[in-house]
Every structure is written in structure tokens, then in C-alpha cells.
Amino acid sequence: MRILLKLSGEALAGDKKTGFDEATVRKVAVQVKELLDKGNEIGIVIGGGNFWRGRTSENIDRTKADQIGMLATVMNCIYVSEIFRSTGMGTAVLTPFECGSFTKLFSKDRTNKYFSKKMVVFFAGGTGHPFFSTDTGALLRAAEIDADVILLAKAIDGVYDSDPAINPDAKRYDRISIDDVIAQNLQVVDMTASILARDNHISMRVFALQEENSIVKAAGDSFNGTIVDA
């Protein structure tokens, strides 16, 4: 199976909320290695919220603010790829813009070459354009590399009909269609990314990163988050 795993930037920070938490990333590495050893191909997109969000920086030009955000995702991918390497996995970090010798430019052919070498491929730098998100970057890459599924690791354990932090009666879906996600504006991923999922028929599995072994479970049958059908 070809899997695109999306991690939020905050997820890397653990309880610290900012920067990196190595113990958290090592738990991710162990699970990704298990999936890799089972013969899956794994691409990874990581957000940048543990460092920077373009839209919340008030006094600087949005385009520049978003460039900083994209670079934050590159830092995140280099960090996580190095932790992965230290556990014996081969990795490559690809970006949609030149970062000198730090990364290589993204292409589908290059991605396939790395997958054939059983390497984990990090898609850093989002879409390479301002006014987008890494959610959209994840859907875009998933479509380009023909991923079978997106595993969406979140702070919350699935998709709810309302915010469970506000509404104690919020109901969690086991399964929901992407059309309903869009119609109800459920923000599983942002709207641009949702439309990409719908138009390219890319299903997503939403689960809590903090739950024990949740990435491995999400790739298998004992999954207990929400499946978003597309």
C-alpha cells in the first residue's frame, strides 16, 4: 500500500507545544518502520505550526509570512527524517523549491525511485506557494504519487459533528463521506484540501497521534478513528 502520512507541526512538539519533542518523534519512527517493514511505501507531509503560521503574523506581508511557514515545514522534515535515519530507515526530503544541498526538488519520478529503494520520502515545503496549507500540500502530493490513502494524525481521535471541547454531546463518526464533510464544513482538512480529496477520490483515515500504535492501526483493520470516504 502507498501511504501518505500527514502529521501536524504541533504533533512534533508533544506537550511543549513548540519546537521538537524527540520522544514523540521516536514513537512515530517506530511505527513507520513497522509499516515499511511490512512492505508499505510511505510518504510524509508535516505541518509547521510548532514554529510559525503565516496567517497569524499580523504585521508582515502574507506572502513573506507564508514563505517562513513553508521553511518551518522544511526544518520539521529534516529533523524527523534524521530521527528516522537513526533508527535505520533510509529517507529523502523533497521540496517544491530549491533549498541548495539541504533537500532535493520534488518530482514524481524521483519519489518513485526512492520508494523502490524502500526509503521514506518527506514532502517538505507544502505546495511551494503562499495562501495554501500543508493539508493542501498533502492532498496534492497524494494525488500526484497515486497514494492509496492519507493517514491523518491529529490531536483528536476522529471526525466529530461539532467540537467535543465545546459540546459534550458531540458525536464521532466511524465513517463519513467527503461530500458530507464539505457540506457540513467539518474542517477535517481545510476546504481547498477537501475539494482535492473529493475530486481525486483520495480517502482519509483520521486518528489521534497520541494513542498507542495509532499509525500502525490506522493502516490496518483494527482502526478505530474516522474513515473519510472519497
Residues near ligand UDP (CB under 6 A):
9, 47-49, 53-55, 65-66, 69-70, 72-73, 126-127, 129-130, 132-137
Q: Least distance from C-beta 193 to ligand UDP, angstroms? A: 9
DSSP 101: B
Q: What number of other Cβ atoms are within 10 A of residue 21's Cβ?
A: 17
- Report the nearest approach of ligand UDP to the CB of residue 220 (Å): 27
Kindly give the pairing relationship between strand 104-105 and strand 91-95. parallel
CB closer to ligand UDP, 30 vs 105 = 105
Q: Is 190 left (phi over 0), alpha (psi -120 to 50) or beta?
A: beta
Length of the chain: 230
Mode of pairing for the β-strands spanning 226-229 and 120-123: unpaired
**All three cell numbers of 88:** 535505520
When the beta carbons of 3 and 196 are compared against ligand UDP, the nearer one is: 196
- Min dist CB 117 to ligand UDP, Å, is 27
CB nearer to ligand UDP: pick between 91 and 133 = 133
Nearer to ligand UDP, 90 or 128 (CB): 128
Our CB check for ligand UDP shows the closer of 11 and 178 to be 11
Q: Which is nearer to ligand UDP, 54 or 223 (CB)?
A: 54
- Distance from C-alpha of 93 to C-alpha of 156, rounded to nearest angstrom: 27
In the bound complex, what is the minimum distance in angstroms from residue 137's beta carbon to ligand UDP?
Answer: 5
* Non-local CB neighbours of 230 within 8 Å, separated by 6+ positions: 177, 178, 197, 198, 200, 201, 202, 203, 204
Least distance in Å: CB of 194 to ligand UDP? 13
Query: Within 13 Å and on the Cβ side, how many CA atoms surround 60?
Result: 12
Residue 127 has what DSSP assignment? T
- What torsion do the CA atoms of 206, 210, 214, 215 make, to the nearest 10 degrees? 80
For the CB of residue 47, give the shortest distance to ligand UDP in the complex, in Å: 3
